[in-house]
């Protein structure tokens, strides 16, 4: 089969490799769609640890082609999505329902071969069934949606409350929709690109802002600050902005991945006297099946987020380049 494999930072090749046989508890999934994530670009540049060589791609859906001897409940031809984050199941974090903190985490598309290939192996315990008539490109959104659902859980948005989202990429635009579904009455998104601001309004945002306008452009819409601020840009400056724009007693959820070496200065006194709650949301503990069910319900608008479809031959070039202006989600389809 063909697979797009990372061999070293900056070196990714599409090559012929053996099709993997399923183990006793595995599904062999014929990949129909696999989304490109910002973390794939970090891995390409050597900014995030991976096995090497490894087939990247952790946002995928496809059809069951073969099953292991011990697998039940997945007939051949079933459309599935795979939760890529495989935990040990035995450590203290796994035992209390926090597998995202497992020190032995072995993600598909990072430490195990992933979805930028014709086939991918998925442990049956990590698979969720999708409707047969679901667009497989929508199935590829299950992983990012599952991560966003974890952030929504962590945030505890009050009914009718106000939400500010900093960053208007695919995560920010998913968060707009999920925050409204979670009961937020006011949702403001801040992003540089005007087309994304317009799209956010169509997806349910009650207001949008250009970061060029500074805090003031947001404060006009949220004069007392936001009940919850989601930092989805992954920048030190927006982390600081999030703390400034949360209301007294509000919550800041760190979701964007800030470069590891970055440092910021925050006043503990200000956090204390404003009683801000600082939270973080990492990966998708026990939310992947919820995401699959939500996407199956057609409650999210996903077609508007897909800006380009590519073949497997284009994967190394796209991952190795910076996102083009207006790009939201690029999906490899087969």
Q: Where are the domains of the chain?
A: 2-141+302-333, 148-280
Give the CA angle between residues 187, 191, 197 to the nearest 5°. Answer: 65
What pLDDT is recorded for position 134?
Answer: 98
Write out residues in the chain with pLDDT < 70, as ranges: none
The superfamily (CATH) of domain 148-280 is NAD(P)-binding Rossmann-like Domain (3.40.50.720)
Supply the DSSP string of 56-116, one letter for each residue. ---EEEEEEEEE-TT--S--TT-EEEE------S-SHHHHTT-GGG-TT---BTTTB--SS
- Does the bond joining 265 to the residue before it have cis omega, within 30 degrees of 0? no
**0.85 surpassed by pTM:** yes
What is the rounded distance in angstroms from the CA atom of residue 211 to the CA atom of residue 276? 22
**In Å, what is the CA distance from 70 to each residue of 26, 27, 28, 191, 318?**
8, 10, 13, 48, 38
Residue 157: its H or E element? none
Domain 2-141+302-333: which topology? Quinone Oxidoreductase; Chain A, domain 1 (3.90.180)
> Is the Cα dihedral 73, 77, 82, 88 positive or negative?
positive
pLDDT tens for each residue of 212-229: 999 999 999 999 999 999
Handedness of CA 67, 127, 282, 200 (dihedral sign): positive
The position carrying tokens 């317009």 is 198
């Amino acid at each position: 089969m063909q697979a797009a494999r990372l061999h070293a930072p900056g070196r990714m090749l599409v090559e012929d490799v053996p099709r993997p046989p399923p183990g006793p508890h595995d599904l062999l999934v014929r990949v129909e769609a696999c989304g490109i994530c910002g973390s794939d670009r970090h891995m390409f540049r050597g900014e995030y640890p991976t096995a090497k060589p490894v087939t990247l791609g952790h946002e995928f859906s496809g059809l069951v082609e073969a099953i292991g001897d011990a697998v039940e409940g997945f007939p051949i031809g079933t459309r599935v999505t795979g939760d890529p984050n495989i935990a040990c199941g035995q450590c203290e974090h796994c035992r209390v329902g926090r597998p995202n903190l497992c020190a032995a985490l072995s993600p598909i598309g990072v430490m195990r071969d992933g979805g930028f290939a014709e086939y991918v192996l998925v442990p049956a315990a990590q698979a969720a069934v999708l409707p047969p008539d679901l667009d497989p490109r929508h199935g590829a959104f299950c992983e990012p949606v599952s991560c966003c659902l974890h952030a929504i859980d962590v945030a505890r948005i009050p009914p009718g409350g106000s939400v500010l989202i900093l960053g208007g990429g695919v995560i920010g635009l998913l968060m707009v929709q999920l925050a409204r579904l979670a009961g937020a009455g006011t949702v403001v998104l801040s992003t540089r690109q005007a087309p994304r601001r317009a799209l956010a309004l169509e997806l349910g945002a009650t207001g949008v802002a250009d970061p060029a306008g500074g805090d003031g452009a947001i404060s006009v819409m949220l004069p007392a600050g936001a009940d919850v601020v989601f930092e989805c840009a992954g920048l030190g400056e927006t982390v600081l902005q999030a703390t400034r724009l949360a209301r007294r007693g509000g919550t800041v959820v760190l979701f964007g991945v800030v470069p590891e070496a970055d440092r910021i200065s925050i006043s503990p006194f200000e956090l204390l006297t404003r009683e801000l709650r600082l939270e973080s949301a990492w990966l998708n503990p026990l939310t992947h099946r919820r995401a699959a069910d939500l996407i199956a319900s057609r409650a999210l608008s996903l077609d508007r987020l897909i800006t380009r479809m590519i073949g497997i031959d284009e994967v190394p070039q796209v991952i190795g380049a910076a996102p083009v202006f207006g790009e939201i989600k690029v999906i490899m389809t087969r």
